[in-house]
Every structure is written in structure tokens, then in C-alpha cells.
Structure 1
Amino acid sequence: MSPEFVVSLLSQSIWLIIKFVAVLVLPSLVVGLIVAVFQAATQVNEQTLSFLPRLLTTLLTIIFVGNWMITEISDLFRYLFLNIPHIIG
């Protein structure tokens, strides 16, 4: 196994993690910001008002993007399994 292959594999894995985190966190971040602006404007300081919309946004994002996420992780594992002979020797 060459160092270039290890670096390439590590790079692919890290970028996949970054894409997954970005897809899941960014919509929740936007909704949290909107709720925070609403709370600041109305001076309502309720913790559940901030938590529930972010939770629902994250769940809806998983529902809509889950198929893509499973396909991406399956492609990475398929690539790993098909390259086992190259990895070993």
C-alpha cells in the first residue's frame, strides 16, 4: 500500500464527512438563526422555541437527503472492498 493511496483514501473519507456534516448542520443553523432573530425581536426567551424547529429541520433534512447519504457511503465502502487486493499488496 503506497502512501499516495492512503492519503487519497483519507482525503476521500474526510471530504465525505465534511459533506455529510454540512448537509445536516447548515439548514439547522439557518433555522436557529431565524428563530434567534425572532426571539430577539419579540423578547421571548424560551429554550424550547429554539430547540424544536432545529430538531424538525434536522429530521426533515435526513428524510430528504438520506438516500443520497446512503448512496455516498455505500460507494465509498464498495470502493474499499473492491480495492482490498490493492490495499493488502
Structure 2
Amino acid sequence: MTPEFVIGFGRQAIELCLMMALPMLGVGLCVGVVVSIIQAATQIQEQTLTFIPKIICMFIALLVALPWLMERMITFTRDVFINIPQYVQ
């Protein structure tokens, strides 16, 4: 294994992790902004008002994105297992 291969493999893994986290983080960000605007307009500063809607929406986003996430994970894992003989050389 060359240093370039290890760096490329690590880069692929990090990109996959970021790509998989993006749907939930994006939904959490959007819901957080909307709830913050509502809190600022009504001047209600309760912490559970920001936490619970984010958790619920992120869970729904996870359920919606789960088939795509699983397909990406399976493809990456399959490619790693298929290429193990090339990695060992």
C-alpha cells in the first residue's frame, strides 16, 4: 500500500461519512433556524422547544434517507471487500 492509496481511501471514507450525515444535519439546521425565529418573535426562551422539534424532524429525515444511506454503505463496503486482494499487494 502506498501513501497515496491510504490517503485516497481515507478521503473516500470521510466523504462517505459527511455525505451520510448531511441529510440529518441539514434538516436539523433548518428546523433550528425556524424554531429560533419563532422563539425570537414570541420571546419564549424554553430549551425544550428547540430540542424536541429538531429530534423529531431529524428522525423523520433519517427514515426518509435510510434507503439511500444503506445503498451507499453497502456499495462502499462491497467495493472494499472486493478489492481486498489488491489492497494487500
What TM-score results when the alignment is normalised by the length of structure 2?
A: 0.93
How high is the sequence identity, in percent, across the aligned residues? 33
5+ unaligned residues in a row in structure 2: which ranges? none
In structure 1, the partner of 2:52 is: 52
User: Separation in 2 of the partners of 1:86 and 1:41?
Assistant: 59
RMSD (Å), alpha carbons? 1.0
Residue correspondence of structure 1 range 35-50 to structure 2 within 5 A: 35-50=35-50
Q: State the aligned residue count.
A: 89
Q: Which runs of 4+ in 1 moved over 4 A?
A: none
**Matching residue's letter, 1:83:** N
Residue correspondence of structure 1 range 1-89 to structure 2 within 5 A: 1-89=1-89
**Matching residue's letter, 1:88:** V
| 1:82, distance to aligned residue in structure 2 (A) | 0.3
5+ unaligned residues in a row in structure 1: which ranges? none
